[in-house]
Structure formats: C-alpha cells, structure tokens
Structure 1
Amino acid sequence: MTATLLLGVVVLVGSFVQASLGFGIAVVAAPFVVLLEPELMPASLLVLGLVLPLLQLLSGPRDVDRRLLGWALGGRLALTPVGAWLVHVLPTRGIAVAVGLLVLVSTVLSIRTVETTARPSTALGAGAITGVSGTAASIGGPFLAIVLQHEDPVRIRSTLSAFFVVGSSASLLSLAVSGQVTREQMTTSAVWVPFVVAGMLLARPVQDRLPRTAMRHGVLALCVVSSVVVTGRALLT
C-alpha cells in the first residue's frame, strides 16, 4: 500500500503536467510504476489515461479537430491488437525496456521539435504508432501532440483528450479480451483516481501563470533520468 500511495503522488504530478500541457501523465508515471509495481502495467495507467481526459472534456473548453481526430483514431484502432499481443508475449522485463525507450524517444522528440504538418497522413501515422505504444506501454500522447503542435492550445488539449478517451478505451478492451487486465490493476487505478482529480484541479489556477519553459525543462529532465534508470535496471537484472 505504501508503494501505491507513493505512486499516487507521482500520478498527481503527471496529472498536473497533462492538464497543463495536454499530455504527460503516462510519460511521468510509467517509469515509476515499472520500477515499483511492474505488474500494474499497462492497464492501471490506461484507466487513468481514460479518466483524466474525460474529466477535461466534461469540465473545460472544447475545440476538437474532428477531421484529424478521425484519422488518428483510425490508425490507433487498427494497430491496438498489435500492442495487446506484445503485452501477451513480452516478459515484464521487456515491457520495462519498452517503457524506458518510449519515454526517452518522447523526450527527445519534445526537446528537438519535429516540424510536421497537421494533415490526415501525419495524424494517421501518429495514431498507428500510438496503437502499439499506447496499448503496450500506456504511452502515446507525444506523437499526436507533435502533429498538433502549431494548433491553438485549447484545440491541442481538446483533440488529445478525445483521442485518449477513445484510444484508451479500445486498448483496455483489447487487453481485457486477451486476458491482460487484472483485478489488482483495476483496484489500484481506482485508488489513484483522486490523485488524478487533485492534479487536474491544481493545474487550473496556474495554467496560464506557470513559467512554461522552466516547467517543461524540469519535466523533460525527470523523464530522461527515469527512462535511463528503468532501462538500465531492466537490462542489468
């Protein structure tokens, strides 16, 4: 229970980051979950990846790019079974390495802004990558965020939220069908939901006041350290 509550604090931080930037709860939390409670991956974080964006859509301003969302979801839904298959065949160590590398790739992409055009083909590609990475490791936000990076901030957050709600639901269903969702994962995710809500509420009054550059650099540094630790530990044990 102590580890679960400690991870709840990490989830709160991830929720705060996602509520501010549009994505981040899994990027921040997944490495710590892999280190402390690897058996909870990926379903417990996928539940949070459904709950937080759903709350954001219901309680905040909405401006969803339905055209790009449709293409992105098409790619994600098509490749989701591949992600579920990887969870079935990979050992815990393999999932840990996947999480570490995905966090590192996501961080590098965030540091070195990749110039893309928000068009159906790029949205489809980002969705396809997320179908695998989002299901196998609960991480996928950065890929579509890169496609949407030049859009209005409200549109970015709203479109990502809608993408997460549908995508996380599909990933959870696919994992459940393949027998990869446990009672412990669902119970723990329920314990973490209040931490998600707290992070979202804490982000609201400071969203437009935070020194975004400093916060972004801090989050990216944390992600690099955690990804290296997770990958190193998995490879050395």
Structure 2
Amino acid sequence: MIGHLPLAVFLTLGMVVALGACVQSVVGFGLAVVAAPFVVVLEPHLMPAALLVTSLALPSWELLTGDRDIAWRPWCFAIGGRVLLMPVGVWLVTWAPTSLIAVIVGAMVLVAVAASISRIDVRPTPASSALAGVITGVSGTAASIGGPFFALVLQHERPSRIRSTLALFFVVGASSALTGLAVAGHVDATQLKVGLAWIPFVLLGTAIARPLRSRVDAARMRRLVLALATVAGVGVILLTVVS
C-alpha cells in the first residue's frame, strides 16, 4: 500500500498518469486532463492535491532545462487572475460534496477539450490573459485542470515561448493552489505521498514520448487524446449522476 492506497489502484492510476505525461510531452498538454477523471472516480479523496503535486514535475523540468522564453506580460495578467480566484477553488473543495467535485472535474475536462479545439482567434491581451487566469484559479485549484485555457491565449506565440510561459504558469499556479488548500486543511500526508510517488510514472511517460515525437503525428494524437478526455469527462458525470 502507498499511503493507505491499495497497490493495484496506485499502479493503475500511475499508468494513467504516465499516459497523461506522455501525451503532454508530445502535444503540450494532457496530464491532468487525462488523469483527473480516473483519479476522481477511483480515489476521490486524492483530488486535487495529489494530482497538483504530480503535475509540478514536468513544468519544473521544463523551466530547468528549457529555453525560458517567457511572455512576461500575458503571464503576469494570467497569474494575477489565477491567484485572485484561487480562494474560490479552495472554497469549492471545502464546502462542495465529493459528488459535486466529481461533476466539476468532468465538466472542466469537457470545457478544456472545447477550449483546445476552439478556432476562436484569441490574442494575448491583458483582458484575455486575466480571464484565462481567473478560470484557472477555480478549475486549477478545485479540479487541477487549467492548462488549455491559457494555452488558447498563447496559441499564436512560438512553441518555445508557449512551453516556457505555460511551465512557469503551472509551477507558480499549482504551488499557490497547494498552499491555499494546505491552509484550509485539504492537503494530507496520503495525498503528498501518492503525488510524489506518481512522479516516476511522469518520468516514464516522458521517456516513452521521446521516440514518439518523431514517429507519431502530433495532430492525430491530439485528436485521440481529446476523444479520450471527452469520453472520460462524460463518463465521470454520468457515473456521478447515476450513483
């Protein structure tokens, strides 16, 4: 057992995390979008803290080894909006029943998919950046999902700038969310242990992604991931409603 979590469940969710990390390494997003629906169904008490801890690994590595080509102005507006609305996400975790959190996770997955396939021509203005941050302040704290919203704002930037800016956004945003959740008493030892124990699965997914980058069409894989995320998001909502 890992932090009172049955080994079989831990390994199953770890492989889902590895899949999400692989996808994120290839197409730029995916860890939380892929993993959150499965975590909230199998072990809802781990959400959102455990997945927030795990999700810090990839962006931290990107900042350490990447180009650090950061779009500072949009980032400042986005992180300001995220930190400002983070208490709302903490409030949801505090007062909402587990079933509502599950529905929120499923809904945020579907919204993230819609944002990812949107053809809306969004530019990184102060208003659009702040709005993406505001949405992520709630979704990133309560459901650990937030990357696609700010990624939509940055869609016209060069790839290195998108990766670096999102990485810093993830690290600061997830750290602030974990701090807020900890102050409210919603981060426990089990969540921390499991979140840290899933990091090797992130490394596994990243290692698998390296040869796939040159062999797999990123656009096709992105469509498959969005389809999987859609099924998972709808499935979470239906399972919650039925139960």
Tell me which moved more, 62-71 or 138-147. Answer: 62-71
* 8 Å CA contact 2:89, 2:142 repeated in 1: yes
Query: How much does 1:61 deviate?
Result: 2.7
What residue in structure 2 maps to residue 232 of structure 1?
Answer: 238
Instruction: Please give the alpha-carbon distance, in whole angstroms, between the structure 1 residues aligned to 2:241 and 2:36.
Output: 17
1:142-196 C-alpha deviation (Å, 9 max, x unpaired): 1001000111111111110000000000000000000011111111111101011
What residue in structure 1 maps to residue 3 of structure 2?
Answer: none
What residue in structure 2 maps to residue 210 of structure 1?
Answer: 216
Q: 2:58 aligns with which of 35, 44, 52?
A: 52
What residue in structure 2 maps to residue 150 of structure 1?
Answer: 156
**Which sections of structure 1, spanning at least 5 residues, go unmatched?**
none
Instruction: Please give the alpha-carbon distance, in whole angstroms, between the structure 2 residues aligned to 1:153 and 1:208.
Output: 16
Counterpart residue identity of residue 108, structure 2:
L
1:89-130 C-alpha deviation (Å, 9 max, x unpaired): 011101100000110111122223222111111111100110
The alignment's TM-score, normalised by the length of structure 1, stands at 0.96
Q: 1:74-153 to 2 correspondence within 5 Å?
A: 74-153=80-159
Instruction: Please give the alpha-carbon distance, in whole angstroms, between the structure 2 residues aligned to 1:73 and 1:206.
Output: 32
Instruction: Please give the alpha-carbon distance, in whole angstroms, between the structure 1 residues aligned to 2:214 and 2:63.
Output: 18
Query: How much does 1:39 deviate?
Result: 0.8
What residue in structure 2 maps to residue 19 of structure 1?
Answer: 25
Instruction: Please give the alpha-carbon distance, in whole angstroms, between the structure 2 residues aligned to 1:201 and 1:152.
Output: 24
Instruction: Please give the alpha-carbon distance, in whole angstroms, between the structure 2 residues aligned to 1:109 and 1:224.
Output: 12
What residue in structure 2 maps to residue 70 of structure 1?
Answer: 76
Instruction: Please give the alpha-carbon distance, in whole angstroms, between the structure 2 residues aligned to 1:230 and 1:64.
Output: 35
* 8 Å CA contact 1:22, 1:161 repeated in 2: no
Query: How much does 1:21 deviate?
Result: 2.5
Instruction: Please give the alpha-carbon distance, in whole angstroms, between the structure 2 residues aligned to 1:48 and 1:114.
Output: 31
* 8 Å CA contact 2:26, 2:218 repeated in 1: no
Instruction: Please give the alpha-carbon distance, in whole angstroms, between the structure 2 residues aligned to 1:20 and 1:69.
Output: 23
Q: 1:200 aligns with which of 203, 206, 214?
A: 206
Q: Secondary structure at the match of 1:207?
A: helix
- State the aligned residue count: 237
Root-mean-square deviation (CA, aligned residues, Å) is 1.2
Tell me which moved more, 207-216 or 24-33. Answer: 207-216
User: Percent identity of the aligned residues?
Assistant: 52
